[in-house]
Amino acid sequence: VLSAQLRAPRPDAWLHLLNPQSGTGCALQLFHSIVQPMLVEAGMTFTLFVTEKPNHARELVRAGDLSQWDTMVVLAGDGLLYEVLNGLMERQDWQAALQKPLCTLPAGSGNALAASINHYAGNTHVLKEKLLINCTYFLCKGLHAPMDLVSLSTASGKRLFSFLSFGWGFISDVDIASEKYRKLGNARFTVGTVQQLAALRVYKGRLAYLPVETSSSVVPAPGALRSSHGGPEDSLLVPFDQPVPSHWTIVPEEEFILIFAIYQSHLGADFTMVPKAKLHDSSIHLFYLKAGVSRLVLLKLFLAMEKGTHLELTCPQLHYIPVRAFRLEPFAATGLMTVDGEPLACEPVQGQVHDQLCRIISG
Ligand code: ADP
Ligand code: MG
């Protein structure tokens, strides 16, 4: 891992993008009490940009002159990093822009990437201020490593870039329903889980995927999806009006409790979905839970997720497959989907992993 890392040349000019509404609304306070003293101690220079509204940071990085910045630091939750990433992908010079390391400093209610990076570094599991201190320390050290990204395309023509997850069903509903409890910080997900258990729903659709195992022996699909939006071409995907390539696997069941694709180890600071995941492992870790599972089993699965032992419960309805690409076609627009924890209207979606597309400050 160390050989893949590079040291950023000094002195660095860092742009800190901060969402004052993140999490419990304390991001600015955390910056002044924890981050700034550590940066000063390390002799770092920085500029602070406080967002005033959603998409403010996205517009700034999409249209702004980035040449003056070496590293863009996001002090917020996963949502603001998702904005910044998609803003960068909308640039003409997206390839060059993605070579600048990004950094996530956790100050939101969902800090999954920060928790994952802390885990990859071999650190013990920590929350809140301790996680922020660890991540600020990584920033001061300045090591960065490549990170895989997933491009997602929808039937209505949207194209999105994702560093964390795509989901439909139970987990996505918890994420969205618990938004109103964001003042609870990370505990919002526990409250949301209990609430959604009471209102358990079935999600009907067709799921297909390209397993990691078979993908290496097969040449790319003939009619690869050309991008009209910039960004890399999706060589593994074909347009929605064509069936998935014949070497893909089509899931026989069509009734699900949840479908969740994650590309990092952690889904939240308290949820370890894939302990073995890496920043770049060319994999989308795909989970699906078939209908027919009791509320009690579902609750047990969620409690096991804290430590990442949910697969050890060998629940027959829970499936896990590492894949390079997937397609999900809902039969009805039930609930919302989520991308990196942010809502997406329910419609057919397909995605594929792009190896080492950006760089991120890591331990
Ligand atoms: P959290 O982890 O608490 O959800 P995020 O950083 O993920 O925190 O931000 C949540 C949402 O807030 C994102 O969708 C982002 O676009 C939006 N946002 C960014 N800046 C602001 C702002 N100044 N006011 C309100 N919302 C904002
Ligand atoms: Mg968020």
**Following DSSP, what letter does each residue of 172-236 receive, concatenated?**
HHHHHHGGGGGGGGGGHHHHHHHHHHHT---EEEEEEEEEHHHHTTSPPPTT-B--SSSS--BTT
Torsions phi, psi of 203, nearest 5?
-115, 125
Q: Whose CA is nearest to atom 11 of ligand 1?
A: 79
Q: So what's the pLDDT on residue 339?
A: 98
pLDDT for 181: 81
Whether the domain at 2-147 and the domain at 152-361 fall into the same CATH topology: no
Q: What is the mean pLDDT of residues 149-153?
A: 98
How do residues 16-63 score in pLDDT, each as one tens digit? 999 999 988 999 999 999 999 999 999 888 999 999 999 999 999 999
Predicted local distance difference test score (pLDDT) of residue 223? 61
Mean pLDDT of 236-254: 97
Give the CATH fold of the 2-147 domain: Rossmann fold (3.40.50)
Dihedral sign, CA of 209, 212, 217, 219? positive
**Whose C-alpha lies nearest to ligand 1, atom 14?**
79
Average pLDDT, the chain: 92
What is the ipTM score, two decimals? 0.97
Neighbours of 327 (CB within 10 A): 22
94-120 residue pLDDT tens: 999 999 999 999 999 889 999 999 999
**261 to 22, 124, 212, 283, 346: CA distances (angstroms):** 24, 25, 14, 10, 15
**Is residue 241 among the annotated active site residues?**
no
Residue range 152-361, CATH number: 2.60.200.40
Task: Tell me which of 12, 65, 70, 78 is the catalytic residue.
Answer: 78
The residue whose CB lies within 8 Å of the most ligand 1 atoms, and thus the one to mutate among 18, 22, 73, 74, is 22
Q: How far apart are the C-alpha atoms of 305 and 266, rounded to whole Å? A: 9
Ranges of each domain in the chain: 2-147, 152-361
In short, whether 192's Cβ falls inside 6 Å of ligand 1 is no
Q: Which residues surround ligand 2, an ion (CB under 5 A)?
A: 77, 79, 110, 341
Ligand 1, closest atom to CA 56? 20
| pLDDT level of residue 228 (50, 70, 90 thresholds) | low
**Residue 321 pLDDT:** 98
